[in-house]
A and B are shown apart, each in its own frame.
Chain A
Amino acid sequence: QVQLVESGGGVVQPGGSLRLSCAASGFTFSSYGMHWVRQAPGKGLEWVAFIRYDGSNKYYADSVKGRFTISRDNSKNTLYLQMNSLRAEDTAVYYCAKDADGSQGSFDLWGRGTLVTVSS
């Protein structure tokens, strides 16, 4: 079954850390660039980070640069997002998403998301 399943969300205090995971199955994970996208409660979609299929290049939104780190383990078919120095404005559902076949840049597979709440 082709799917992405996020985990690792929860409630964390401001300044704290959290690591999200995204387990991939049903496709050749190591062949695709992967993204994290977030959605604050009641708000729109915000791209967070990207990692190339082989992990050689990483890009971040300015809002998370220096605080978040994207990584992947192709042997485990898993994508990660290490989030440090969390702020209230990082509260959101975090989705992992896969680059589309034939159209690099659109996302043809999304996970169900994991909720991160930053609150004291």
Chain B
Amino acid sequence: AIQLTQSPSSLSASVGDRVTITCRASQGISSALAWYQQKPGKAPKLLIYDASSLESGVPSRFSGSGSGTDFTLTISSLQPEDFATYYCQQFNNYPRVTFGPGTKVDIK
């Protein structure tokens, strides 16, 4: 099974900061990667699909990059509503998908 790791597991940042989260796959997955945002008590929300495509309605400060085994989610200027946990997900062996362990972004 394809394993995903995320780094860091948590980070503290200030409003306006540029934030980068990394996701690494245990084997190549081409661009079959998505990113989700989850706030406490809420369902995950799709941000990025196919590694770098912005989901409709998601602010342009979110961007994704990478292919193969190494991927990045970047928030160009952190906003108060962005404090949440972020998960990567691979779907290279769809429909058996796996999620990364998550990265919690909190206020510095």
Using a CB–CB distance below 8 Å, which chain A residues touch chain B? 33, 35, 44-47, 50, 59, 61, 95, 100, 102-108, 110-113
Using a CB–CB distance below 8 Å, which chain B residues touch chain A? 32, 34, 36, 38, 42-46, 49-50, 53, 55, 87, 89, 91, 94-102
Give B6's nearest chain A residue, CB to CB. Answer: A44
User: Known contacts being A33-B95, A50-B95, is A107 close to B102, with CB within 8 Å?
Assistant: no
B101 contacts across to A, CB distance below 8 A = 44
Evaluate contact between A47 and B98: CB separation under 8 angstroms. yes
B46 contacts across to A, CB distance below 8 A = 100, 106-108
Evaluate contact between A106 and B91: CB separation under 8 angstroms. yes
User: Known contacts being A45-B44, A103-B49, A103-B50, is A35 close to B87, with CB within 8 Å?
Assistant: no
Q: How far is the CA of A105 from the CA of B36 in the complex (A)?
A: 13
A107 contacts across to B, CB distance below 8 A = 34, 36, 44, 46, 89
Q: How far is the CA of A113 from the CA of B89 in the complex (A)?
A: 19
Give A103's nearest chain B residue, CB to CB. Answer: B49
Give A107's nearest chain B residue, CB to CB. Answer: B46
